[in-house]
Amino acid sequence: MLKKVIIYALVSLVLLFPASSKAGAVSADTITAPSAVLMEATTGKIIFEKNSHEKRPCASVTKVMTLLLVFEAIDSGKLSLDDTITASEHAASMGGSDIWLETGETMSADDMIKATVVASANDAAVALAEHISGSEDAFIENMNKRAKELKMNDTVFKNCNGLDEEGHVTSAYDVAIMSKELIKHEKIFDYSSIWLDTLRDGKTQIVNTNKLLKTYNGITGLKTGTTDDAGCCMSATAKRGDVSLIAVVLGCDTGKERFADAAALLDYGFANISVKELTLPDEMPSQIKVDGGMEANVSINCPASSKVVVDKGREGDIKTTVNLPESVSAPIEKNQKLGKLIYTLDGENIKECDITAAFPVEKISYMLVLEMVFNSLISL
């Protein structure tokens, strides 16, 4: 009798928790934020979304775009971390989170960035914007231009710090897109990982607004934001092994819910996905035969590697197929498509790469052969 009871209990557990269910599952109901996205950062693949294109204010998460333009200015040589930045009257007038800049006060760009990232300082963000573009309005134009380049179709910026303003909107999806672009500049992590620091030669202490820095394994950043219109928002970045994630939550009622939602999304990603680097299969030839050409063979090119997101444990199930004819006919142009390399999982294509000619091959002709013979004779 006891044996039957145990078997019945085991069967009931299997029915309640099927093997196909994913660890740490999240849903639109378990995520309290009205809008959310989980993205794998290296590939841009969306792992989870809830009202991801709903247009909403995002408070100081706006500063992700501000910081993206700052780091692009550094890369281009337009801005140096050692530059001295002077606070204008406009920058010093910002409310909300700030470092109480006074008109005419100077700080290095390095400290202004630190204040913007760690303390979410609205005045420092405006001071950086004015230094780079001449005025906040000109900087905002560049923010919107960059958003269009990144295909952030749900976004309109009206300021560079995220203070509530009519028409200043974005979406969880767009925040993930600009966060993905910002973290390509790995220098950002030198700032976003700071928990406690000082400015003004130790006179001003700043504490990071991202509480996950103290509680979440693998957290690297990125930016929080809170206003009356936006609620509690966050773009959280974390990395474990080869998996890099971006969790965006917008419109939470409390900071506690914001951090809980972001952590739940990150947990779900780390528990369930892997990032697999695709490499060329052993059967991939290095060249292909040419019919009727001035060369007998032509070397081929194919992307050496690419990354895809797969369910954890399925990395070894990816299959490769090389679709390439035994020979091709001349003439052949450089970069001419000759075939395809296809990666599949469970019979579905997950990645395709074009196989192309590494150099041109002319079609054989009597005059070309005669010219070759002549050149070989005069070189004797």
Per-residue pLDDT of the chain (380 residues; tens, 9 = 90+): 434 433 444 334 333 334 344 666 889 889 999 999 999 999 999 999 999 999 999 999 999 999 999 999 999 999 999 999 999 999 999 988 899 999 999 999 999 999 999 999 999 999 999 999 999 999 999 999 999 999 999 999 999 999 999 999 999 999 999 999 999 999 999 999 999 999 999 999 999 999 999 999 999 999 999 999 999 999 999 999 999 999 999 999 999 999 999 999 999 999 999 999 888 888 889 999 999 988 999 999 987 668 899 999 888 899 999 999 999 999 999 999 999 999 999 988 988 899 999 999 999 875 666 665 566 666 66
Residue type, 14: V
In degrees, rounded to 5, the angle at the alpha carbon of residue 120 between the alpha carbons of residues 222 and 185 is 40
Q: How far apart, in whole angstroms, are the C-alpha atoms of residue 288 and residue 318?
A: 25
Which amino acid would we find at residue 164?
D
Tell me the domains of the chain and their CATH numbers.
35-273 (3.40.710.10), 280-366 (2.60.410.10)
Residue 120 annotated among the catalytic residues of the structure = yes
Question: Does the active-site annotation cover 93?
Answer: no
Q: Which one is catalytic: 35, 50, 52, 60?
A: 60
| Catalytic position from the list 63, 114, 211, 223 | 63
Phi, psi at 75, each rounded to 5°: -60, -35
User: How far is CA 338 from each of CA 288, 330, 357, 363, rounded to the nearest angstrom?
Assistant: 9, 12, 7, 16
The reported pTM is: 0.85
Residue corresponding to tokens 């109901």: 29
Task: For residue 21, indicate whether it is catalytic.
Answer: no
Check 88, 120, 133, 192 and give the catalytic one: 120
